[in-house]
């Protein structure tokens, strides 16, 4: 079939007419020369603040973090960020970012596997580094996330990734670091005969599920203790639970479920336990503290769990956990689009009792400690990865958060994204219309 040159020219013109800015920015190249940020207020992430500070980094690692007066400028490319603020890159735990693009389009959803017990499922291999959502998250200071599978009783293993990579292999910070267990819901009779009959059947299913869990954990413990000719992927994925090399994340909210789930895990010989969700964590704080259990709290921007609770209970729960001495981090409850609001839930916690630097730690260093990556991330300290952000305003305040620079392992990240492009596109459209209106009005008046 012969194609007219005119149609080819039109097609080429259409392709070049697609704005480049609407695409996902290419990952930044490896850091090629030392960089020194100077003049900003440094929020280290461990509670300390340094005024008029400097942060230097080379080959992706922080080489200096402290007062500007003590920095050696020799050989460094100096970036003046006077009047701004330097923060550690924020870390979002318990997220499906990159596993789900459009919730109404099934082909873009890859956050769960068929079946109920899937310890061998690896979330990281489904991670889409070309997601349009990822650049919008980086623009608010979130530079790392924990890819978390959902669904079933055991949904699979999570991995921690940085958010500027060509593929999932390049993105990995810590692979397959934890197994996720959705503890079966407890059921309470309602007094309604029909409803209670249904609940009774559900309670039977719950008991059956717990028995299956007990058998699976027992088999995994035996499997981990010996050598095997045949590989069992499900049992092999669980072996790290018994030597502490892999964490067990128990997703539970109701106080009795938290206690039951933690006791179950300890009875099975699990070494490292983290409770995720944890809406009732304050009610069982003594139990959590006694058993040295960390918490990833998901409910800051939520309604109270019970009618009798204070309306601001979710907002002040982080402060109450801190006061009780419970190690905790904050997340945005598995929302892919909500991940960009991670700094603002920390800001809400700061408005309801937490010190501002404590709130920052809840989305940086505390999270890194819970996820087991605090030796390389979570704070701006010498020897750690140069994963940090610079904001002209308070990063935790929605009104002033304005990230001007972001670095992941020393690489300067492109902060452009689809939302910024669309904002500028329509802002220019209406600016042009406003500029044209007075001219038209004047001409009409002159005509009269």
C-alpha R_g of the chain: 25
CB atoms within 10 A of CB 163: 25
Please check whether the two domains, 18-88+380-420 and 90-377, share a CATH topology. Answer: no
Q: For the domain made up of 18-88+380-420, give the CATH fold.
A: Urease, subunit C; domain 1 (2.30.40)
Please check the confidence at residue 19 and state whether its pLDDT lies above 90: no
> How large is the average pLDDT for residues 123-135?
93
From the list 278, 373, 360, 271, the residue with the least C-alpha distance to 326 is 278
> Using an 8 Å Cβ cutoff, are 407 and 387 in contact?
yes
> Using an 8 Å Cβ cutoff, are 262 and 291 in contact?
yes
Lowest mean pLDDT, pick from 162-176, 212-226, 345-359, 423-437: 423-437
Q: Which CATH architecture has domain 90-377?
A: Alpha-Beta Barrel (3.20)
Dihedral (Cα; 433, 438, 442, 445), 10-degree rounding: 80
From the list 22, 24, 29, the residue with the least C-alpha distance to 134 is 24
Q: Which band of pLDDT confidence, cut at 50, 70 and 90, is reported for residue 192?
A: low
Domain assignments of the chain as residue spans, ordered by start = 18-88+380-420, 90-377
Please tell me the predicted confidence (pLDDT) of residue 435.
Answer: 79
Residue 357 main-chain phi, psi, to 5 deg? -75, -30
d(CA 329, CA 360): 10
Please check the confidence at residue 10 and state whether its pLDDT lies above 50: no
Task: Report in angstroms the alpha-carbon separations of 140 from 90, 368, 388, 390, 413.
Answer: 9, 18, 12, 10, 12
3-state class (DSSP) for residue 179: strand
CB atoms within 10 A of CB 100: 23
Q: What is the pLDDT of residues 262-305, one digit of tens each?
A: 999 999 999 999 999 999 999 999 999 999 999 999 989 999 98
From the list 354, 330, 317, 336, the residue with the least C-alpha distance to 90 is 330
Decide: residue 60, CB within 10 A, 0-12 exposed, 13-18 middle, 19+ buried: middle
d(CA 424, CA 393): 21
Please check the confidence at residue 112 and state whether its pLDDT lies above 50: yes
Lowest mean pLDDT, pick from 15-19, 68-72, 183-187: 15-19
């Amino acid at each position: 079939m012969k194609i007219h040159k005119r149609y080819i020219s039109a097609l080429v013109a259409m392709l070049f007419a697609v704005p480049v800015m609407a695409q996902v920015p290419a990952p930044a190249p490896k850091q090629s020369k030392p960089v020194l940020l100077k003049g900003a207020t440094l929020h280290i992430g461990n509670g300390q603040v340094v005024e008029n500070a400097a942060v230097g980094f080379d080959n992706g690692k922080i080489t200096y973090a402290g007062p500007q007066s003590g920095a050696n400028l020799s050989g460094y490319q100096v970036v003046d960020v006077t009047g701004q603020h330097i923060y550690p890159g924020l870390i979002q735990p318990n997220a499906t970012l990159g596993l789900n693009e459009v919730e109404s389009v099934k082909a873009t959803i890859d956050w769960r596997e068929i079946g109920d017990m899937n310890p061998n499922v690896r979330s990281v291999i489904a991670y889409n580094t070309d997601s349009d959502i990822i650049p919008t998250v980086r623009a608010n200071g979130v530079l790392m996330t924990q890819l978390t599978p959902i669904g079933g009783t055991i949904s699979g293993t999570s991995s921690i990734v940085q958010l500027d990579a060509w593929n999932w292999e390049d993105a990995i910070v810590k692979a397959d670091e934890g197994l996720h267990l959705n503890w079966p819901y407890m059921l309470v009779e309602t007094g309604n005969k029909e409803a209670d009959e249904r609940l009774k059947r559900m309670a039977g299913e719950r008991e059956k599920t717990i028995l299956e869990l007990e058998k699976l954990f027992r088999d995994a413990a035996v499997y981990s203790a010996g050598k095997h000719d045949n590989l069992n992927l499900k049992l092999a994925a669980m072996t790290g639970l018994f030597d502490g090399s892999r964490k067990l994340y128990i997703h539970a909210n109701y106080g009795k479920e938290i206690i039951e789930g933690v006791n179950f895990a300890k009875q099975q010989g699990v070494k490292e336990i983290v409770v995720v969700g944890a809406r009732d964590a304050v009610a069982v704080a003594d139990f959590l503290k006694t058993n040295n259990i960390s918490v990833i709290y998901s409910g800051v921007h939520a309604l109270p769990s019970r009618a009798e609770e204070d309306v601001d209970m979710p907002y002040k729960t982080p402060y109450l956990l801190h006061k009780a001495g419970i190690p905790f981090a904050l997340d945005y409850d598995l929302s892919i689009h909500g991940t960009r609001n991670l700094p603002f839930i920390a800001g809400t916690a700061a408005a309801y009792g937490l010190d501002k630097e404590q709130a920052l730690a809840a989305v940086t260093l505390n999270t890194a400690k819970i996820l087991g990556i605090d030796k390389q991330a979570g704070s701006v300290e010498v020897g750690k990865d140069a994963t940090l952000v610079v904001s002209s305003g308070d990063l935790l305040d929605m009104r002033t958060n304005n990230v001007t620079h972001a670095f992941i392992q020393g690489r300067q990240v492109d902060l452009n994204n689809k939302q910024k492009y669309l904002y500028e596109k329509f802002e220019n459209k209406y600016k042009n219309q406003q500029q044209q209106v007075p001219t038209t009005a004047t001409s009409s008046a002159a005509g009269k």
